[in-house]
Amino acid sequence: MNHAQTLLKILSANRSCYHSGQQLAGEMGVSRTAVWKAMETLRNQGHSIEGIPNRGYRLLTSTLLYSKERLESLLPSWELHLFDSIDSTNRYAKSLESKKALVLACHQSEGRGRLSRSFYSPQGGLYLSLLFPATFPLSDASLITSAAAVAVSEAIEEKCGKYCRIKWVNDLFYENRKVCGILTEGVLGVESGRLTAVVVGIGLNLFTKRESFQGSLKTIATSLYDGQDSLPSDFSVDDLVACIVQTLEASLDTLGERSFLAAYRERSLVLGHEVRVLSGAAEYVAKAVAIDDEAHLVVEDAFGHQRVLSSGEVSIHLEV
């Protein structure tokens, strides 16, 4: 654990009182200059630390703290890379040489979604990327994103007791607002025509204060818990992370069996509803009638014509 992490642990253990620089230096067994440097590191990572002369320092914002030891014991086969703050967990995961790794952060400075769209990643969120070798055939690869959406929903239900629905293809909605985004990236070889590695990036608004979603996010985003105070007393972030990873891993191991599809259909936010389909320049209203065995969405237009939607240029808007 580096000085910044040690300091964060001390400050977050007792948020109500001020910690003097000298006291912190003593507790950490380092110089006051080292404490000051660690403080700067934390501030640069986005933590708000109040400093008052003659009184000391106090951590203001809620900071999500996981326990490395606990995660290691829960996920023994995974190589763990834990950060307070990082530019993007997916970017980091893609740069790793390892076969199987979990990258976890409490804050992303350059969180990214599909086509590099910005993904707002404040404190109070859970940002994790899983790197794993692709063992399944390429024909099953397009099922990964839908399977991941089911796995995360099921882990949330098990550890938080909250039911999320899935907006096709892979957005998780809680109380009709987006609570989680998933970005899956694969590396394909030109000659082999095979996937060599897959990175599944998950951004979950766990306990971000709902009022902190501003602008365009205000009416479309939410979090599972409205602020850290709303977390149940026995809640463990480590347990949730481990459950997400294990559920996803199990689901990917049996991807070809398509056993996740029943839950995928059951949790669908769009099935049976009118949707607006944006496909390139065209836009039409249709009814979502089925999800086929490839997780494609089948829609029926006003004339009774059915279309199977599968690709990225299609964007679905729920008719409210």
CB of 83 to other proteins, least distance (A): 23
CA dihedral 165, 265, 317, 278 (to 10 degrees): 150
Give Cβ neighbours of residue 318 (< 8 Å, ≥ 6 apart). 167, 269, 270, 273, 274, 275, 276
- 311 in contact with other proteins (CB under 8 A): yes
Which position among 93, 102, 126, 182 is part of the footprint of other proteins (CB under 8 A)? 182
- 109 in contact with other proteins (CB under 8 A): no
Residue 173 to residue 152: CA distance in whole angstroms: 11
CB of 90 to other proteins, least distance (A): 10
- 217 in contact with other proteins (CB under 8 A): no
> Is it true that the peptide bond before 187 is cis, omega within 30 degrees of 0?
no
DSSP 257: G
- 193 in contact with other proteins (CB under 8 A): yes
Closest to other proteins by CB, 53 vs 193, is 193
Which stretch of DSSP H or E encloses residue 288?
Answer: strand 282-291
Which stretch of DSSP H or E encloses residue 283?
Answer: strand 282-291
Residue 5 to residue 12: CA distance in whole angstroms: 10
Binding residues for biotin: 88-90, 108, 112-114, 178
Closest to other proteins by CB, 19 vs 167, is 167
- 187 in contact with other proteins (CB under 8 A): yes
CB of 194 to other proteins, least distance (A): 8
- 179 in contact with other proteins (CB under 8 A): no
Closest to other proteins by CB, 106 vs 166, is 166
Question: Regarding beta strands 314-318 and 274-279, do their DSSP bridges make them parallel or antiparallel, or are they unpaired?
Answer: antiparallel
Site for other proteins in 135-174 (CB under 8 A): 138, 141-146, 169-170
Residue 76 to residue 68: CA distance in whole angstroms: 11
Query: Is residue 148 a contact partner of residue 184, using CB atoms and an 8 Å limit?
Result: yes
Stated length of the chain: 320
Closest to other proteins by CB, 76 vs 193, is 193
Tokens of 92: 């980091």
Closest to other proteins by CB, 123 vs 184, is 184
Which position among 17, 115, 281, 302 is part of the footprint of other proteins (CB under 8 A)? 115
Residue 37 to residue 49: CA distance in whole angstroms: 13
- 243 in contact with other proteins (CB under 8 A): no
Say which residue the tokens 């299609």 belong to.
314
Tokens of 255: 């991807």
CB of 238 to other proteins, least distance (A): 28
Closest to other proteins by CB, 141 vs 298, is 141
CB of 138 to other proteins, least distance (A): 6
Residue 283 to residue 300: CA distance in whole angstroms: 14
Residue 206 to residue 236: CA distance in whole angstroms: 12
- 315 in contact with other proteins (CB under 8 A): no
Query: Is residue 55 a contact partner of residue 23, using CB atoms and an 8 Å limit?
Result: no
Segment near other proteins (CB under 8 A), from 101-109, 233-241, 255-263, 290-298? 290-298
Q: Where does this chain bind other proteins (CB under 8 A)? A: 114-117, 138, 141-146, 169-170, 182-196, 198, 294-296, 310-313
